[in-house]
């Protein structure tokens, strides 16, 4: 790992920990993504994390806050765009019909995309509006 990669990994650590401390499991390799998608039969929230401001100020807080209700996904996972590139790319392959987007959030079940929130529905919105998108999806798919 070169000095730049090391620096970026260190800078991203608190951004990773914000989700892992909230119960999200990190998928850092294409193999871990494939294993999760093949074996998980329950509803799962997937957060494609990012270093950008809308991930910090909107996506991560909304994802975490959306988990307080009774109806929520059984599993929580995350991949980190720009950090774990291969894992992120592999996860995006499961999101058929969507454009790559960072940050973004998806609800998956049985290896299939159920609901997707792209960056365009995160950036410029309030945390509460994003939470509502998620909780509405949980009501429908969880």
In the chain the domains, ranked by start, together with CATH numbers, are 14-126 (3.40.30.10)
142 is catalytic: no
Summarize pLDDT for 34-64 with one digit per residue, the tens.
999 999 999 999 999 999 889 999 999 999 9
Q: Give the span between the Cα atoms of 46 and 43, in whole angstroms.
A: 10
What does pTM read for this prediction? 0.95
43 within 8 A of 75, measured Cβ to Cβ: yes
pLDDT score of 9: 86
pLDDT score of 30: 98
- Could you say which of 15, 27, 52, 131 is catalytic? 52
- Could you say which of 8, 12, 51, 54 is catalytic? 54
**Hey, how many other C-beta atoms are within 10 angstroms of the C-beta on 93?**
11
Residue whose structure tokens are 């650590």:
13
The verdict on whether omega for the bond into residue 103 sits within 30 degrees of 0, i.e. cis, is yes
């Amino acid at each position: 790992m070169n000095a730049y990669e090391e620096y970026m990994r260190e800078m991203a650590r608190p951004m990773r920990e914000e989700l892992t401390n909230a119960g999200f499991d990190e998928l850092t390799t294409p193999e871990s993504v494939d294993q999760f998608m093949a074996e998980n039969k329950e509803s799962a929230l997937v957060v494609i994390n990012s270093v950008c401001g809308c991930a910090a100020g909107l996506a991560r807080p909304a994802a975490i806050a959306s988990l307080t209700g009774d109806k929520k996904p059984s599993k929580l996972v995350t991949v980190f765009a720009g950090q774990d590139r291969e894992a992120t790319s592999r996860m995006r392959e499961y999101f058929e019909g969507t454009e790559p987007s960072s940050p973004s959030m998806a609800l998956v079940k049985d290896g299939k995309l159920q609901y997707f929130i792209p960056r365009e529905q995160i950036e410029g919105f309030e945390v509460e509006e994003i939470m509502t998108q998620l909780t509405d999806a949980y009501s429908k798919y969880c």
